[in-house]
Amino acid sequence: MNEEIKNKILHTIESYETIVVSRHIRPDGDAVGSTKGFTKILRDTFPEKKIYLTDEDFSDYLAFCGGEDSVPEEVYKDALLIVIDTGTRKRISNSNYAKAQKIIKIDHHIEADPYGDINWVEDFRSSACEMIADFCVTFRDRLKIAPEAATFIYMGMVTDSGRFRFEGVSGETLRLAAAMLDYGVDYETLFAHLYTEDFATLKFKSFIYDHIQITKNGVAYIYMDSAMQEKFALSFEEASNVVSELDAIKGSLIWVAFIDNVAKGNIRVRLRSRFLGINDIAIRHHGGGHNMAAGATVFSVEEMYELIEEADALLGEYKATHGGWL
Ligand code: AMP
């Protein structure tokens, strides 16, 4: 059903000598995996082309994936830019993106900004890596897919789907993940990188559990203010990861992490839910994302409490009108 657009993308890639690949700011496993994996495939398949990957923003926990050389500004005027896993142009981690001759957008977020000349957007996909895996399988006879590339793509599929647990995981997800495994994914090393923790981190988690709050209707939230971040010498990214500590509380179908962004003077919001959507709340607070995983920004502690009240009211209404939730 998406054959036409994939063919168009491959033809466009074939017609350009210079290609730049980019992802979103604050890159996660899917952003890094999809761009690293796709770049590796393009470099191996088209060794005569100049293929770059922008690396302007960085997440410490993915440092094991390796860095990239910077991209000379002058290459953009003749370049094709492929932006993966990035819903809006505001979130593109590439200060030169608008200088590219043509842009291809490959993304799995709800469409809010079709900034590409070609937009391949499938919001039912559990990850952008799932789309890259689909592209690989479609053109398996024309692309060189090394084990390293497959490992990057598998990493994004695993991380963005919460190890194949979240909404959007389908039979097709697992068939495509299986196809990546067949290319030789080194999952033992990958999982050791992704899922082992320092003892100090576990100590930190015990502190977090002491500070989680639950609203009347069951919204779990935590406010990682600047003092907490300082106490544990956390980077902003590390502090932001706290959202994953809130995701398994019985009855808390919505959970939210608020993280002081000292550099910007605002508070980052990470919203998550099961059974009901929270994207509308994110949109009301300068954000967006997916139905059950979204991001936002609030500009004061008062606005933070407004958002919590909105989430609490939503969850209260859901529980009053639905049975069967856990
Ligand atoms: P995060 O909590 O930052 O991981 O965000 C959850 C999802 O929402 C990710 O897929 C993000 O790409 C998306 N997202 C986060 N912030 C925004 C925003 N301000 N606008 C649109 N999408 C966002």
> Which residue owns the Cα nearest ligand 1 atom 21?
288
Instruction: Say if CB 105 and CB 114 are below 8 A apart.
Output: yes
pLDDT, tens digit, for every residue of 265-316? 999 999 999 999 999 999 999 999 999 999 999 999 999 999 999 999 999 9
For residue 267, the CA-to-ligand 1 centroid distance in Å is 14
How many whole angstroms separate alpha carbon 220 and alpha carbon 322? 19
For residue 178, the CA-to-ligand 1 centroid distance in Å is 27
Residue 202's Cα: distance from chain center in Å? 24
Left, alpha or beta for 302 (phi > 0: left; psi -120 to 50: alpha)?
alpha
pLDDT for position 290: 94
Residues paired with residue 267 on neighbouring β-strands, in sequence order? 260, 298
**Which amino acid is present at 259?**
I
Tell me which residues have their CB closer than 6 angstroms to ligand 1: 24, 87-88, 109, 270, 287-290, 293-295
Beta strands 254-261 and 220-224, pairing class: parallel
Indicate yes or no: pTM above 0.85.
no
> Which residue owns the Cα nearest ligand 1 atom 12?
289
Mutate to test the pocket of ligand 1, among 35, 61, 91 (most ligand atoms within 8 A of CB): 91
Strands (DSSP E) along 141-242, which ranges? 213-214, 220-224
For residue 196, the CA-to-ligand 1 centroid distance in Å is 25
Instruction: Say if CB 94 and CB 20 are below 8 A apart.
Output: yes
Q: Report the atom number in ligand 1 closest to the C-alpha of 112.
A: 21
pLDDT for position 40: 98
Of the candidates 111, 146, 110, 121, the residue with the CA atom closest to the CA atom of residue 6: 121
Q: Report the atom number in ligand 1 closest to the C-alpha of 86.
A: 12
For residue 100, the CA-to-ligand 1 centroid distance in Å is 24
C-alpha dihedral, 163 to 151 to 59 to 295, nearest 10°:
-40
pLDDT tier for residue 90 given thresholds of 50, 70 and 90: very high
Longest dimension (CA), the chain: 62
For residue 294, the CA-to-ligand 1 centroid distance in Å is 5
> Which residue owns the Cα nearest ligand 1 atom 18?
287
Mutate to test the pocket of ligand 1, among 109, 131, 298 (most ligand atoms within 8 A of CB): 109
pLDDT, tens digit, for every residue of 166-176? 989 999 999 99
pLDDT, tens digit, for every residue of 2-13? 999 999 999 999
Instruction: State the chain's mean pLDDT as an integer.
Output: 96
pLDDT, tens digit, for every residue of 221-280? 999 999 999 999 888 998 999 999 999 999 999 999 999 999 999 999 999 999 999 999
How many whole angstroms separate alpha carbon 253 and alpha carbon 249? 8
For residue 138, the CA-to-ligand 1 centroid distance in Å is 29
Residue 49's Cα: distance from chain center in Å? 28
For residue 124, the CA-to-ligand 1 centroid distance in Å is 16
How many whole angstroms separate alpha carbon 214 and alpha carbon 56? 37
Q: Report the atom number in ligand 1 closest to the C-alpha of 24.
A: 12
Domains of the chain: 2-194 (3.90.1640.10), 202-321 (3.10.310.30)
